[in-house]
Structure 1
Amino acid sequence: MRSSLLLLTGLLSAPAFAQQAPKKPLDHSVYDQWQSVAGQRISHNGKYVLFQVKPQQGDGTLYLKTAGNQTLRQISRGDSAVFSADSKYAVFSISPRYQDVRQARIKKKKPDQMPKDSLGIYGLSTGKLTKYADVKSFQLAEEGTVLAFLATKPLLKDTLKKAPVDTVKKITDKLLETQKGGAILTILNLEKGQPRTFEAVTDYKVSKSGNKVAFAVAAPKGNKTVRSGLFVFDVATGNLRQLSAGKGTYKNLAFDDAGKQLAFTAEKYPEKALSKPFTLYYSDFADSARVLLAPSANGLKKGWSPSGFGKVLFSENGEKLFFGTAPDLIPQDTTLVEFEHAKLDIWNYKDDYLQPMQLKNLKKELQRSYLAVAYPKQGGKYIQLADEYLQDAYMADKKNAEYVLAVTDTANRVAMQWQGNTMKRAYLVSTRTGERVAINPKGSKSRFQLSPGGQYAIWYDYNAKGWFAYSVADRETINLAAKAKVDFTDEENDSPTDPQPYGIAAWTKNDDAVLLYDRYDIWKVDPKTGAASNFTNGVGRQQKLRFRYEIPVAKQDFIEPKDELWLQVQDETTKQWGYYKKNITSAKAPQRVTLVPMAYSQLMQAKNADVFLYTKTSVQNPADLYVSRNLQKETKLSNINPQQKDYNWFTAELVHWTTPKGYAATGVLYKPENFDPNKKYPMVAYFYEKVSDGLYRYNAPAPTPSRLDIAMFASNGYLVFTPDISYTIGEPGASAVEFVNSGVEALKKNSWVDGAHIGIQGQSWGGYQVAYLITQTPMYAAAWAGAPVVNMTSAYGGIRWESGMSRQFQYERTQSRLGATLWENQDLYIRNSPLFYLPKVETPVVIMANDADGAVPWYQGIEMFTDLRRLNKPVWLLQYNGEAHNLVKRENRKDISIRELQFFDHYLKGAPAPVWLERGVPAVEKGRNWGLETSTSSVR
C-alpha cells in the first residue's frame, strides 16, 4: 500500500495547542440554548434590517435595527416579519410562549384552545409599537401600506376599553358568536390608521397596491346581521360592495396588478350535496361579479369544471386570466356499507405509476388541475392549455408572454422504475389560439423551462450532453454548447447515470442572453445564435475557482442592462469562499472583492439601494449577520452563541493523502480546541460522499437526526475525520475501502492518533458503507450504521415508501452505482452486499432502523441485526417508533445523541457501558426505563 499524508495547517489563526484557561466539554444539556439567525430582511431603502435569533428550542427574539447596527426594538417571540414597501413599518407575528404551548399540549387542548399568535406593527421612525391579539394570519400590500389580518377575537375601540366589564363581555360574546366558521378581518392603512373590521371572514386578499381588499364571508346559522358572499372593500373611499351573494366556498381570490379586476372560484351547493363543482367568477367592480366559466359550459370537456385547487392569476397587463380546470370527481356511493365491501390495491403491469406511487400522490392527483386561460374583456373567451396528455404547463415570469410551456412524459412513465426519470416531450402552447408547437417531437431526457420573457424554451439534453434553446419567434432549435466548446456537465460524475449539468445562473433583460455554468466559469450565451463568451474570462478554470451567481434582489426576474454582478466563489483547493464582481456589459476579467477562510451565504440586496445583507461563518464563528455596501467595510449585526467561549470548541484542517491505487484524496480533520500533540486521541470517521467543501461550515452542537455530531465529539476529546470518497462504477463498497481505510491508515501514522481506538459512523448511504467496511477489516473498534442497506439483492426490488418509487433505478443508475440489473450481474450485487460477509465482522456495531423509514427498507436493518445476532456478534438495533429515515422528532434526536456518545465512549475511551448496551431494555419496561444509566463494566 502506498499512502502519504499532508496536513494543511495554519488555516485557523491560533495554534491548536495554545495555553488557555480550562474550558468545559459540551454536554447534552446545551442543545436548546444554541442559536441561529433566521428570517433576515432588508428594507427597500437599505436603511433598516430585521432578523430573528432563534434557540434550537424555546423562545426566539426579533431584532429591528438600522443598517448602522442601532437597535430600534427587540420583540420577544417575533416571527414572520416583513417591511412595508415605503420602508416605514415592520409587521410581524408574535408567537405564544414556548412553555404555554407546551403546557397546552400536556393538557391535550383542542386546536381552537391552543395559545394564539399576536400581531405587531412597529413604526421605524416613530418607535411606536402596536399589538393585536389572537391573529391567525396577515397580508401586507406589496407596494403600499395597507395591512389586513384575521383574528379570532374582536378589535375593541378605545371607547369600549372604558366601558363596564359586563358591557365589553356582551359585545365580545356577540361578535365571537359570528365567528363560527370564520374570523374577524381587520383592514388598516398604516399611514392613516382608522381600522375597519368585518365578521365571519373565511378568506381574504390584498391587492398589489393595497387599493382594495377582497374577502369571503360565511354567515353563521341563524345570524341575521351578517351576509354570506364575496365582498370588496375600497381602501381609499371606505366603500364596501358585495360582488357575489350566497353561502358556499369561495377560493383563489386574485386581483390584477392594478387592482382594477378581481377573479375567484366558488361553489354554492347545499352542504350535503355529493358533487360540488366550482364556477369561475370575474368582476371589474362596475357591477356584481359575473360568471366567467360555469361547470359543463360550452368549450369545456364534458364533465369538467373550473377547479377550486388551480391557482387563479392575471397576466401583468391584465388582459389574460389564468386558472385551472379539472374533471368533476365521481361522487361517492353513500349506499355502500363500509364493512361489506373489499378494500384492496390492484397492481397492474400496464399502470403508468406503481400503486404505492399512486397512493402517495393520491391527494395531489385528486386536486390536480389543468391550466386554462380566459379573456374577461373579450367576452370571456376561453382556451384550454393543458389536459390529461399535457398535464404540466408553466408560464414565463413575465406572464404577458404569448406561449406557455407544456411538458409530458405520457407513455414513457413505466421506465421510471429502473431509470429514475422519464423521456419527455415539450410543447409551446399559444394562449391566444391554443396551438401546440412541438419542441422535441421524438422526446428526450431533459428538464425544460421558459426564459423570463417567454421568448425561448431552454433545456439540457442528457443524451446529447448539451444545452439547447428553442426560439418562439423563429421556431428554431439552437445548440447553446456548440460554439462555447466546453463541457457544461459534471466533470467528476462517478455514477452510471448521465452526468448532471452545472445549471443556469440567470437571464439578462429581454431574454438577450443566458448565463450558464461549467465546472468553474460562467458563460454568457446568445440564445438566438448560440454565440458564447466566457463571462468570467476563464479565471475560474485557471485558478480553480468555482463562480456562481444568484440575483440578490427579491422578485427581480432577470439581470438589468447595467447591473454589477456579485459573483460568489469557492476555491476548489483551499475551500475558501468569497466574492468577485463584474458588470454585465464588461469585457474585463471579474474583480476580486474578498476571498477568505470563511463561508459566505448568498447576498440579499435592498430593492432601491446598493446595500447587502449576508451571513459569514467558519468552524469557530457561527453564522452571524452582516450588512455592507462593498463586502470590505462591513457591520456585524448579530452576536449569537456567546456561550461558546465557555466550552472546549474545535478546529478544522484539510488533509490530503494518496490511496493504494494512487488516487489523490482529500478530507477534513477536526481536533479539540485544547488539542495536545503529546497525547493520544481516539478518532471517529464520518463520511457521506464528499464533504470537504464544508470545511468552513459552522457545526453547532445539536441533537442529531442520525449523523455524527462533530461539535459534541470533538469537544469531548475525539478526533473526527471526514474523508471524501470517489467511486468506481460497480464497486461502491470497495471504493469506500479505498478512500476511508487509506485515510485512516495515513492519519494513524501520527503519534497523537490512538490507532487501537478508532470508530466509524454513517447514515443512509454512509450507513451502508459502515456495514461494508466492518466486513473487510477488523481495524475499527466500534461502528454505528444508520439506516444501512446490507442486502442489495432484496433491496433492489423494494419500494421507497416516501415517494412510492421502485428502488431499481437507485442500484442501476444512481447512488448505489452498480450499473446493471440484478439478473445481468448477480455477482455484482452479492459482492457489494455486506450481508454475505457478516461472519467476518469483529467490530461491535449499533444499527438504527426505523419502522416508518421511507427511503431504506426497515427490514434491511433487521436482516443485519438478526444475522449478526445468530453469529453471536456484538450488535444492537435502535428502532424509533413511527420515525422516518432521518429522525424528525426532537425527543428522539436527543435520545440517539446520548446513546451515540455513550457507545463510542465505552468502546473507544473505556467508559462504563450503559444499561441498554449491557443488558438491553425488555419490552415490559418500555416507556418506564430507557437504560441510559451506566453500569461498571469497561473494555479498556
Structure 2
Amino acid sequence: MYKPFALLAGLAFLQPAVAQQTPKKPLDHSVYDQWQSVANQKISQDGKYVLFQVKPQQGDGTLYLKTAANQTLRQVSRGDSAQFTADSKFAVFSIRPQYQVVRQAKIKKKKPADMPKDSLGVYTLNGNKLSKYPNVKSFQLAEDAAVLAFLGERLPVKDAAKKAPTDTIKKLTDQLLEAKKEGAPLTVVNLLTGKTSTFEYVTDYQISKPGNKVGFAVVAPKGNKDVKSGLYVLDVASGTAKLVSAGKGVYKNIAFDEAGKQLAFTAEKHPEKALVKPFSLYYSDLGADSARVLLKPSATPLPKGWSPSGFGKVSFSKNGEKLFFGTAPDPIPQDTSIVDFETAKLDIWNYKDDYLQPMQLKTLKKDLQRNYLAVIYPKKDGKFVQLENEYLRDSFLPENTNAEYILAVTDTGKRVSMQWEGTTLKQAYLVSTVSGEHVAINPKAAKSRFQMSPDGRYVTWYDYANKNWFAYAVDGRKTVNLTGKLNVSFTDEENDSPDDPQPYGLAAWTKDDAAVLLYDRYDIWKVDPKTGVAVNFTGGVGRSTKQIFRYTIPVEKKKFIEPKDELLLLVQNETTKQWGYSRKSISSLKAPEALVMAPFGYSNLMQAKKGDTFIYTKSNVSTSPDLYVSRDPKKETKLSSINAQQKDYNWFTADLVHWTTPKGYKATGVLYKPENFDPTKKYPMVVYFYEKLSDGLYKYTAPAPTPSRLDIAMFASNGYLVFTPDISYTIGEPGPSAVEFINSGVEDLKKNSWVDAAHIGLQGQSWGGYQVAYLITQTNMYAAAWAGAPVVNMTSAYGGIRWESGMSRQFQYEHTQSRIGGTLWDQTERYIQNSPLFHLPKVQTPVVIMSNDADGAVPWYQGIEMFTDLRRLGKPVWLLQYNGEAHNLVKRENRKDISVRELQFFDHYLKGAPAPVWLQRGVPAVEKGRNWGLETTSSSAVKTTP
C-alpha cells in the first residue's frame, strides 16, 4: 500500500537543486521529528538544582536533572511532569511509555485499559538514587513536605491473574472486574523516612499542604466484605488510617485546611437506583471519631430545592475559620418512561435568550455543573452565607482568603449585546463573607475589567469609556482615579480597530496592597491605590529611549512584591527589537540599571523561592532557545544544548527593513534570507503576514509541520526570501490597508537586484488568508498565492457563527479584527468593497485555498464560495479540505501533509519545478486514502493499492 509519509525523507528529490556555496544541505520534510525544544523547566526552592525536558517534536524526550553549576546528576528517558519537593531533596516525575510502544498499541487498536502505562520516578538529589514505581495513573506532592501520594493503574485482569495462586484466580478475577470501575491502589510515601502505606479501591485522594494527612475515598467491590466503603484519613507519621465517613457513594472535593488539622468534602450516599442524588457537605476537625454533616440537601439556610454541589470546589480560608463550597439547585430527575427514538430532537432559538443557542450548547456541560459560591463557619455553629446567586454568579476571592469581602461581577440583563459588541457591560459588588452584604462598586454597568488586590483591600479596574485605571477602597468605600492626572496614555496608542483601545495592563502589587504597578506604552508606574499618588517607577527611561519595560513576579505562587525585593525588568527596544533585562529595587527612586540588551529574545524568569538564582531561555533567529541559570543576566551558565544538527543545514538570517507607503506611512517588516545568500543571484520571495510580526525579529523558528502558516525555516533554507511586513489599518478599509502596506513593501524590496520580481508569492492564514484573497483581486504582481481559511464574502460571513465558541461573528466586523466599524445595513458598501468575492473576475494569480469542514472560527463555506466562483471563472484554483480538522490543523499527519504540498506549490510556480499530481490532475474521490498525489508529473505512474 502506498503510504504518504513513509516517503517524506525521499521527498527532497521533489525539490529543485539549489546551488550551494557551502556543504550545508537544505532542510527537507524528514527533519521535523528530531527538532528539539526545552520544556517544563523548574528550579528547586533553594536554587541549587534545576530540571528540564528536552523534547523532540515527535518521539521520546529526556528529563535532565542538574545542579545550578551545570553538573548533570541524571538523565531520565521519557521523564515528564517533574517537580521538586519543598525541601529540595527529591525530584518526582512520571516516566511515559516509549513512543513506539504506544504507537504499536494504537495500531493494534488496544482498549484504553490495555494501553501501556506510565511509571513514577523518585530521584534523591544528593544521593544519586532513582526509585521507580510501575503503572501509575497520577501523583501528588505535599506543598511543604517530602510526602508523595500516587494512584496506581490496575493491571488487565489476565496479567494480574497470572501472578495469583490457581485456587484464587476466579475470586481475584471477579474482584478486579468490579474494582476496575470502583478504584485503584493508593500509595503514600514519606520520602525522608521511606515509610510506605498502600490502600486498595481508592477513587479520589488529596494530600494536605504540610504533608501530615492524606484523605482518600474507597469504594469496595460488590461482595467484598473485607473492605469498607467510605472516606478515610491517613496519619502519615503513624501510618494509620481512620474511617471518618462510612458508606457506599460518591466522595468528591476532599480538602484540608492550611495546617492539615481540618477536613471537608462533599458526598452523596443515595441508593443506586435513586433518580435524584444531591450531595451533602461534610466536615471533621480530625480529632473527632467521624466527620459530621455540615449541610444536608434542602437544609434550612439553603434556597428551596438547593443542595451542596458535587461540582463546586471546597476550600478553607488561610486561617481555617471559613469553609468555601458551592451550592446548586437539585438536578432535575430524568423521566425514564420516555422512549428515545420517539422523541423530537431540536434546538429552539429565542430572541430573548441571554446567549445564542450555539453558545449554550458549547457551555452545556459547564452550565449543568454550575454552582454558586457559599461560605460556612464550621467552628461557629455552622453559620452559613450564600455569596453567589443566579444573578451574581461570578466571584473572585482575594489571595488573602481571611479578608471579609470577595469581589463579585455580573452582566445579568446585559448579555444579548454580546452578539454585536463581543463583550458585555458589567457591574461589580463587594460581598461580605460575614453578613452577605452587597456593596455596589459601580452602580451603572460599564465595560470594565475588575480584579481584587492580593490582600483584599482594593478592587481595581480599567474603565474603557473613561480610559483610566480606578481603585475602590474596601475600607472607606472610596473610589480613586489612579491615572487621570498623569499626562500619559495607559491604553494602546496604536489602536487601529473600531473599538475601545486595550489597556497596557497591571503588572503586580506590593505587600499589604501598598502600591500597584501599572503599564503605559513604555514605562511602569507605581501608584498608591488609596490616594492615587503616582511615580514613574522606571523614571521615564522607557518613553525617552523607546524601551518597553515589563515585569512578571518570577517566584512560583508568590502574589506580591516584598519591600526589599529587587525587580528584574524585561525590556524590549521598540526600534531595534532587541531584548534584555534591567534591575531596580522596588523601594528605589533611581532609574533602572541596564544589565543586558542583546539581539536575543528572553523568556520570563523563574526564580528560586529561597534565593536569588533564576532560570530562563534565550534565543534568536539562528540560536535555539536553550536554558540558562544565573544570579545576574551578565553572568550566565548554559544548561542545555539542543539542535546540534542545525549546523549541518543551510539556515537563515533575519533583518529589519523599513520603507514609506504611498500615503506616507512609515512601515516596518522583517526579511529572512538563506544563510548562503549571494547578492549576485536572484531569489524568489514569499510574502507572509498577520497583523504585526516584527517584534518577533529575534524569535527562533524551528522547522515544523505547519498548522497552516508558512514554515519560514523550510522556505528560507530552500533558497527563498521570506518577507513579513507589518500592517496598520484604516478603519473601514481592511483590504486597502493590506494593499497599502504589503504591496509597497514588496515594491521597495523589488528594487534590489537579488529579488526575482517575476516570482513572488503570497501566503496567509485566517485573517492573513482573507488578505491574500483580497490582494490577488487588486494586483497581478504575484505569481502564486496560498490562502488558509479565508473570508471572501463579508456580507454572508457577518451573520455567521464562530462554532468553536458559539458566538455570532457580528462583533468581529463591527468592533475588532475585520475593522469595518458598522453594521451590514449601515455600512453596506464597505462590506462589499472589502469582500474579495465581488472582485474575483480580476484574479489572474494561481491560488490554493485551505478550508476545513470542522473550522470553528471561519465558516467553511467561505472557502467553498471562493473556490466555486474562481472555478466557474476558469481561474487556476485548488481547495484542500482536511476532514474533521479545525481552523488551524491539529493532527500532525495533516500538518506534515500540508507542509509538503505548500512547498511543492511554490516550488512549481516560483522555481519552475515539475507540478505534483494533485496540482496537475487532482486526486479523484475513488482514489482517496490510496493515492495522495504527491508525486511529480515527471516521475513514474501514480501508485495505488493493488
Contact 1:31 1:702 in 2 (8 A): yes
Cα distance, 1:408 vs. partner? 0.5
Q: 1:561-607 deviations in whole A, cap 9, x for unaligned?
A: 10000000000000000000100000000000100000000000000
Q: Distance between the aligned counterparts of 1:550 and 1:174, measured in 2?
A: 55
Q: Distance between the aligned counterparts of 1:193 and 1:834, measured in 2?
A: 69
| Runs ≥4 residues deviating over 3 A | 17-21, 163-179
User: Per the alignment, in what secondary structure is the counterpart of residue 512 of structure 2?
Assistant: helix
Contact 1:255 1:313 in 2 (8 A): yes
Say yes or no: does 1:652 pair with 2:679: no
Cα distance, 1:541 vs. partner? 0.2
Unaligned runs of 5+ in 1: 1-16, 155-159
Question: What letter corresponds to residue 409 of structure 2 in structure 1?
Answer: V
Q: Sort the Cα spacing of 1:305 and 1:875 in 2 relative to 1 into closer, same or farther, 3 A.
A: same
The 10-residue stretch of structure 1 (497-506 or 324-333) with the greater mean CA deviation from structure 2: 324-333
* 1:198 paired residue number: 199
* 1:281 paired residue number: 282
Cα distance, 1:243 vs. partner? 0.7
Cα distance, 1:331 vs. partner? 1.1
* 1:545 paired residue number: 547
Q: 1:446-471 deviations in whole A, cap 9, x for unaligned?
A: 11110000100110000011101110
Contact 1:701 1:711 in 2 (8 A): yes
Cα distance, 1:286 vs. partner? 2.1
Q: Distance between the aligned counterparts of 1:902 and 1:879, measured in 2?
A: 17
Cα distance, 1:330 vs. partner? 1.0
* Equivalent in 720, 733, 736 of residue 734 of structure 1: 736
Question: What letter corresponds to residue 895 of structure 2 in structure 1?
Answer: R
Q: Distance between the aligned counterparts of 1:792 and 1:30, measured in 2?
A: 40
Contact 1:133 1:153 in 2 (8 A): no
Cα distance, 1:274 vs. partner? 1.6
Q: Sort the Cα spacing of 1:19 and 1:849 in 2 relative to 1 into closer, same or farther, 3 A.
A: closer
Q: How does 1:31-70 map to 2 (within 5 A)?
A: 31-70=32-71
Q: 1:717-747 deviations in whole A, cap 9, x for unaligned?
A: 0000000000000000000000000000000
Contact 1:152 1:179 in 2 (8 A): no
* 1:903 paired residue number: 905
Q: Distance between the aligned counterparts of 2:756 and 2:875, measured in 1?
A: 24
Question: What letter corresponds to residue 32 of structure 1 in structure 2?
Answer: D
* 1:497 paired residue number: 499
Question: What letter corresponds to residue 633 of structure 2 in structure 1?
Answer: L
Q: Sort the Cα spacing of 1:350 and 1:171 in 2 relative to 1 into closer, same or farther, 3 A.
A: closer
Q: Sort the Cα spacing of 1:18 and 1:458 in 2 relative to 1 into closer, same or farther, 3 A.
A: farther
* 1:568 paired residue number: 570
Q: Distance between the aligned counterparts of 1:175 and 1:365, measured in 2?
A: 37
Question: What letter corresponds to residue 319 of structure 2 in structure 1?
Answer: N
Q: Distance between the aligned counterparts of 1:239 and 1:520, measured in 2?
A: 59
Q: Sort the Cα spacing of 1:381 and 1:780 in 2 relative to 1 into closer, same or farther, 3 A.
A: same
Cα distance, 1:386 vs. partner? 0.4
User: Per the alignment, in what secondary structure is the counterpart of residue 831 of structure 2?
Assistant: helix
Q: Distance between the aligned counterparts of 1:408 and 1:780, measured in 2?
A: 51
Contact 2:22 2:676 in 1 (8 A): no
Say yes or no: does 1:91 pair with 2:92: yes
Q: Distance between the aligned counterparts of 1:168 and 1:333, measured in 2?
A: 43
* 2:457 paired residue number: 455
Cα distance, 1:647 vs. partner? 0.5
* 2:369 paired residue number: 367
Cα distance, 1:483 vs. partner? 2.9
* 2:877 paired residue number: 875
* 1:130 paired residue number: 131
**Pairs aligned (count):** 915
Q: Distance between the aligned counterparts of 1:81 and 1:879, measured in 2?
A: 39
Question: What letter corresponds to residue 789 of structure 1 in structure 2?
Answer: V
Cα distance, 1:419 vs. partner? 0.4
* 1:789 paired residue number: 791
* 1:408 paired residue number: 410
User: Per the alignment, in what secondary structure is the counterpart of residue 121 of structure 1?
Assistant: strand
Q: Distance between the aligned counterparts of 1:97 and 1:398, measured in 2?
A: 44
Cα distance, 1:179 vs. partner? 3.4
User: Per the alignment, in what secondary structure is the counterpart of residue 530 of structure 1?
Assistant: coil
Question: What letter corresponds to residue 430 of structure 1 in structure 2?
Answer: S
* 1:487 paired residue number: 489
Q: Distance between the aligned counterparts of 1:768 and 1:793, measured in 2?
A: 14
Contact 2:175 2:221 in 1 (8 A): no
Q: How does 1:472-483 map to 2 (within 5 A)?
A: 472-483=474-485
Q: How does 1:246-325 map to 2 (within 5 A)?
A: 246-287=247-288, 288-325=290-327
User: Per the alignment, in what secondary structure is the counterpart of residue 54 of structure 2?
Assistant: strand
Question: What letter corresponds to residue 321 of structure 1 in structure 2?
Answer: L
Contact 2:815 2:821 in 1 (8 A): yes
Question: What letter corresponds to residue 684 of structure 2 in structure 1?
Answer: P
Q: 1:512-532 deviations in whole A, cap 9, x for unaligned?
A: 000000000000000001111
* 1:884 paired residue number: 886
Question: What letter corresponds to residue 193 of structure 1 in structure 2?
Answer: G
User: Per the alignment, in what secondary structure is the counterpart of residue 510 of structure 1?
Assistant: helix
Q: Sort the Cα spacing of 1:478 and 1:310 in 2 relative to 1 into closer, same or farther, 3 A.
A: same
Q: Sort the Cα spacing of 1:778 and 1:304 in 2 relative to 1 into closer, same or farther, 3 A.
A: same
Contact 1:185 1:201 in 2 (8 A): yes
User: Per the alignment, in what secondary structure is the counterpart of residue 498 of structure 1?
Assistant: coil
Say yes or no: does 1:557 pair with 2:551: no
Q: Distance between the aligned counterparts of 1:610 and 1:908, measured in 2?
A: 53
TM-score in terms of structure 1 length: 0.96
Contact 2:626 2:639 in 1 (8 A): yes
Q: 1:777-820 deviations in whole A, cap 9, x for unaligned?
A: 00000000000000000000000000000000000000000101
Q: 1:679-708 deviations in whole A, cap 9, x for unaligned?
A: 000000000000000000000000000000
Q: 1:89-112 deviations in whole A, cap 9, x for unaligned?
A: 000000000011111111111111
* 2:179 paired residue number: 179
User: Per the alignment, in what secondary structure is the counterpart of residue 668 of structure 1?
Assistant: strand
Q: 1:545-569 deviations in whole A, cap 9, x for unaligned?
A: 0000000000101000100000000
Cα distance, 1:21 vs. partner? 3.4
Question: What letter corresponds to residue 747 of structure 2 in structure 1?
Answer: E
Q: Sort the Cα spacing of 1:868 and 1:382 in 2 relative to 1 into closer, same or farther, 3 A.
A: same
Contact 1:483 1:532 in 2 (8 A): no
Q: 1:854-876 deviations in whole A, cap 9, x for unaligned?
A: 00000000000000000000000
Q: Distance between the aligned counterparts of 2:28 and 2:165, measured in 1?
A: 52
Q: Sort the Cα spacing of 1:261 and 1:173 in 2 relative to 1 into closer, same or farther, 3 A.
A: same
* 2:344 paired residue number: 342
Q: Distance between the aligned counterparts of 1:735 and 1:645, measured in 2?
A: 40
Q: Distance between the aligned counterparts of 2:573 and 2:176, measured in 1?
A: 61
Q: Distance between the aligned counterparts of 1:641 and 1:649, measured in 2?
A: 12
Cα distance, 1:171 vs. partner? 11
User: Per the alignment, in what secondary structure is the counterpart of residue 736 of structure 1?
Assistant: helix
Q: Distance between the aligned counterparts of 2:825 and 2:256, measured in 1?
A: 58
Cα distance, 1:238 vs. partner? 1.9
Contact 1:18 1:674 in 2 (8 A): no
* 1:848 paired residue number: 850
* Equivalent in 513, 516, 541 of residue 515 of structure 2: 513
Q: 1:209-250 deviations in whole A, cap 9, x for unaligned?
A: 100000000111111111100000001122211011111111
User: Per the alignment, in what secondary structure is the counterpart of residue 195 of structure 2?
Assistant: strand
TM-score in terms of structure 2 length: 0.95
User: Per the alignment, in what secondary structure is the counterpart of residue 247 of structure 1?
Assistant: coil
Q: 1:473-518 deviations in whole A, cap 9, x for unaligned?
A: 0101110112323210000000000000000000000000000000
Q: Distance between the aligned counterparts of 2:673 and 2:165, measured in 1?
A: 65
Question: What letter corresponds to residue 299 of structure 1 in structure 2?
Answer: P
Q: How does 1:617-696 map to 2 (within 5 A)?
A: 617-696=619-698
Contact 2:406 2:432 in 1 (8 A): yes
* 1:8 paired residue number: none
User: Per the alignment, in what secondary structure is the counterpart of residue 623 of structure 1?
Assistant: strand
* 1:761 paired residue number: 763
Q: How does 1:585-596 map to 2 (within 5 A)?
A: 585-596=587-598
Contact 1:218 1:228 in 2 (8 A): yes
Say yes or no: does 1:220 pair with 2:221: yes
Question: What letter corresponds to residue 928 of structure 2 in structure 1?
Answer: K
Q: Distance between the aligned counterparts of 1:165 and 1:632, measured in 2?
A: 65
User: Per the alignment, in what secondary structure is the counterpart of residue 921 of structure 1?
Assistant: coil
- Name the Cα RMSD after superposition: 1.7
* 2:918 paired residue number: 916
Cα distance, 1:905 vs. partner? 0.3
Q: Distance between the aligned counterparts of 1:153 and 1:609, measured in 2?
A: 42
* 1:391 paired residue number: 393
Contact 1:92 1:119 in 2 (8 A): yes
Q: Distance between the aligned counterparts of 2:108 and 2:818, measured in 1?
A: 47
Unaligned runs of 5+ in 2: 1-17, 940-946
Q: Sort the Cα spacing of 1:579 and 1:825 in 2 relative to 1 into closer, same or farther, 3 A.
A: same
